[in-house]
Amino acid sequence: MFSALDINNNLVDIDRAIKEPLNKYFCTSCKQEVIMKNGNVRISHFAHKNKCDCDDYNNDISEWHRNWQKKFPIKNREVVLKINENDPFIENFNKTVRRADVLCYGYVIEFQNSPISSEEFNDRNYFYTRLGKKVVWIFNMVDEYDNEKITHIQEWENNFDNVGKYK
């Protein structure tokens, strides 16, 4: 996770926390203490100090993913969403707690850089829509474009506002 709560219950991004290493930080989901991981192998992040299964959040995300998240205010990033334990369809969920990459104005924005199974894609969509959220997916297709697996449709070729159609 890239954000945590400080002792005053303020949301803090890992980049700021690294500059304040003596402070204590807590998980936004379970409120257990987290520690900073700031090495050379993985991108800097918070991790639970003690083994905890409040959610199975995976910090193994790309710089592309993290840079997209950082375009939004911290309060909109990694928002913890939970299915109500009284939901009559609770047994249909693989997970009852998820962290939306971004939650903004009722929209969950998911950034996807790596392959995702259709099952996981459907699970996330079902989870978020069950909570009344609309889901927007942004896929990193740069390599596919560079390798000409997808192409820009000619009629949009001279459009300079970052929109277009691809096939």
pLDDT tens profile 36-51: 888 787 788 888 888 8
Q: What is the H or E stretch that residue 137 is in?
A: strand 134-139
pTM above 0.85, yes or no: no
67-83 burial, b at 16+ Cβ within 10 Å, e below that, comes to: ebbeeeebebbbbbbeb
The single-letter DSSP state of residue 166 is B
Residue 49's alpha-carbon distances to 34, 81, 97, 167, in angstroms, are: 5, 22, 20, 46
Percent pLDDT > 70 in the chain is 86
In Å, how far from its chain's centre is CA 38? 19
Which pLDDT tens digit goes with each residue over 39-86? 787 788 888 888 877 765 555 678 888 899 999 999 999 999 988 888
Question: CA 21, CA 158: separation in Å to the nearest integer?
Answer: 49
